[in-house]
Amino acid sequence: MKNPHLFRASVLALGLTVSALGGGHATAASRPVVFLNSAEPVSLDPMFTQADANVILSIHETLFRLDNKGDVVAALAESIKMIDPLNWEIKIRPGLVFQNGEPINADAAVFTFDRAKTLFAAGKGDLTFALGALKYDHMEKVDDLTVKLVMTVPDPIITSHMVNPELSLLPPKYYTQNPPEKVAFAPVGAGGYKFVSYKPGEGLVLKAFDKYRTGKPPVDDVIVKAVPEVATRISEIKAGSADLMVGVPADLKQDLENAGAKVIVAPSYRRLFVAIKQGRNPALADVRVRQAMNHAVNCEEIAQVLLGGMAKCSIDLVNAPNQDASLKPYAFDPGKAKELLTAAGWVPGADGVRAKDGVRLSLNFDTTNGSYLMDKEIAQVMADSWKDVGIEIADLRVIDNSVSSQMRAKQGAGYRDLMNSSSGPDYTCQGDLLLVQKASGSNRMSWVDDKFEQMFKAFNQEFDQTKWKAMCDAAQAYVAEQAPVVWMFTEPTFYGVSKRLDYEARPDGRVYLNLVLKGVKD
């Protein structure tokens, strides 16, 4: 070497360049994906919350689950066979383990289904919805990888009911040896992500599980943080301190894109409505009052103006393809609303608010702020619309998203007369109809109708699929007319996604991390 200084300088420069590149890569690769959720988890024990399905089904896994297209696929189960209408044989995939190394086998399945039954019988947990849908008597072990599920009633859509996160398989040793208060926030499951730590305010730290049944998820580290305010979530995405949020308002799509983030607008099957609570205000027991409330709201204007034309107003009790497309939503007709209210005996008072027998038609409305697209704003518009026909919203209360999650988990306990709510798709008509079924955990308005119950019972036990369409349409038409809710729309989902994140949206709007995070480009 003629010039040793030049050689040394070159080596040094090369070393610095390599270390800089390598270091940069290491730093970038070690940066976790940050997902901003709207509320802190109620629990990470799948049997104790319905509200945290996104994180529950990222940590845990069920026998069957919905893939990204909405199809029911075998997950921990390998196959299912009907022995007779009340007995089903389920085979479990061989060679799978939980995140703590316990084997996934028939013992784990029996333990899980027994635990759910025991908790439900003791009035513990949040199992009303799951066990209201899947009516089983018990599960028994056939061999190490085979179980028999014994039902109490025939159920033609049993696999659809087994996708519910509450029935995620649990490792028996871990959940037997540890007290409930420990497992509530230190879960062990069979899902794509292992629990690392959780502190309210700081977030839930997850790590990819390398023995996950379909292989290690493409993103190694994820932090799920609760940020209730939409504005704060947007600021964090813009600042680059977070990678994923749900619920970007249509107005701010461009703003977020201008800041270098992506906004993915995906159609979803999440149905939005305002639940009308029964049992509090007698006025709401009258179908004419409920129909009037539907006629008074200009859903089309809300969908077009507030949601940028992305939502479609419909009576969407049942999702496509089972939805009866010929069912027309309630027309915006304040005149008709007034007629119905007058016919029901509610006449306008001096201040425009209707009254009957000296009682004002005055209701309370609970809304979230940031749980759904423009939820607080839509609630105010609806309150204004009802005022125009003589229905007073005495108190429009904005409730915290975490509180709302807990209220929903308790079948609407704590809500007052009206509450904004939503329902995800079940992909079966029978499952979607549970929204208004008496014993279902998703009937948060306590609406009970004997005629509907008879229709539902007959439908739910019908194995002849050729009859399903007619039964589904009849039930939809009847519920639409009864108006147990103020029908709104199926809303699209607006995801705010950082440039580095590769994301695949699901039609149910769920953020199951192992299925939707497709990689990070650092």
Partner 1 sequence: MTQIDPTSESQPVVTAASGLKRNSFWPRLWRSKVATISAIIFLVVVIAAITAPWLSPADPSAIKIIQRLKPPGFTNSAGTTFWLGTDALGRDVLSRVIFGARVSLIVGLSAVVISGTIGVLVGLLSGFFGGLVDDIFMRICDIQLSFPTILLALTIMAVLGSGLDKLILVLGLTGWVQYGRIVRSQVLALKNDEFVLAARATGEQRWQIIFQHILPNVWSPVIVIASFTVASNIVAEASLSFLGVGVPPSVPSWGTMLADGRQYIGVADWLTAPAGVAISLTVLSINILGDWLRDYLDPRLKNLL
Which residues form the interface with partner 1 (CB under 8 A)? 229-231, 234, 249, 251-252, 254-255, 301-302, 305-306, 369, 376-377, 379-381, 383-384, 395-398, 400
- Indicate the burial class of 493 (C-beta count within 10 angstroms; 0-12, 13-18, 19 or more): buried
Comparing CA positions, the residue from 83, 93, 62 lying closest to residue 149 is 83
H or E stretch at 78? strand 77-84
Residue with Cβ nearer partner 1 (156 or 249): 249
16-19 long-range contacts (CB < 8 A, ≥24 apart) are: none
C-alpha 224/C-alpha 222 separation (Å) is 7
C-alpha dist (Å) from residue 79 to 75, 157, 451 = 9, 14, 37
- Closest approach of partner 1 to the CB of residue 185, in Å: 23
Residue with Cβ nearer partner 1 (306 or 337): 306
- Closest approach of partner 1 to the CB of residue 5, in Å: 53
Residue with Cβ nearer partner 1 (119 or 383): 383
- Closest approach of partner 1 to the CB of residue 370, in Å: 9
CA 428 to chain CA centroid, Å, is 16
Residue with Cβ nearer partner 1 (8 or 397): 397
Residue with Cβ nearer partner 1 (253 or 356): 253
- Closest approach of partner 1 to the CB of residue 277, in Å: 17
303 CB-near residues (< 8 Å, 6+ apart): 309, 310, 311, 312, 313, 489
Q: Which residue has the tokens 């060679």?
A: 95
Residue with Cβ nearer partner 1 (255 or 502): 255
- Closest approach of partner 1 to the CB of residue 521, in Å: 26
Residue with Cβ nearer partner 1 (66 or 379): 379
- Closest approach of partner 1 to the CB of residue 350, in Å: 19
Helix 468-482 and helix 287-296, axial crossing angle in degrees, nearest 10: 90
- Closest approach of partner 1 to the CB of residue 369, in Å: 7
- Closest approach of partner 1 to the CB of residue 353, in Å: 15
Structural contact between residues 368 and 398, judged by C-beta atoms closer than 8 angstroms: yes
- Closest approach of partner 1 to the CB of residue 389, in Å: 15
Residue with Cβ nearer partner 1 (205 or 361): 361
C-alpha 111/C-alpha 62 separation (Å) is 13
Residue with Cβ nearer partner 1 (114 or 400): 400
Residue with Cβ nearer partner 1 (249 or 507): 249
C-alpha dist (Å) from residue 311 to 249, 339, 381 = 12, 29, 16
Residue with Cβ nearer partner 1 (173 or 376): 376
For residue 467, the 8-state DSSP code is: G
Structural contact between residues 134 and 117, judged by C-beta atoms closer than 8 angstroms: no
Reduced DSSP (H G I as helix, E B as strand, rest coil) percent helix, strand, coil of the chain, to 5: 35, 25, 40
Question: What is the arrangement of strands in the sheet containing 362-368, beginning at the earlier edge strand?
Answer: 312-313, 485-490, 271-276, 418-423, 362-368, 392-399
Structural contact between residues 188 and 206, judged by C-beta atoms closer than 8 angstroms: no
Task: Work out whether the CA dihedral 328, 287, 269, 249 comes out positive or negative.
Answer: positive
Structural contact between residues 436 and 479, judged by C-beta atoms closer than 8 angstroms: yes
Residue with Cβ nearer partner 1 (234 or 475): 234
Q: Which residue has the tokens 């270098």?
A: 260
C-alpha 167/C-alpha 135 separation (Å) is 12
- Closest approach of partner 1 to the CB of residue 362, in Å: 14
- Closest approach of partner 1 to the CB of residue 466, in Å: 46
- Closest approach of partner 1 to the CB of residue 59, in Å: 30
C-alpha 58/C-alpha 190 separation (Å) is 9
Phi and psi dihedrals of 324, rounded to 5?
Answer: -85, 105
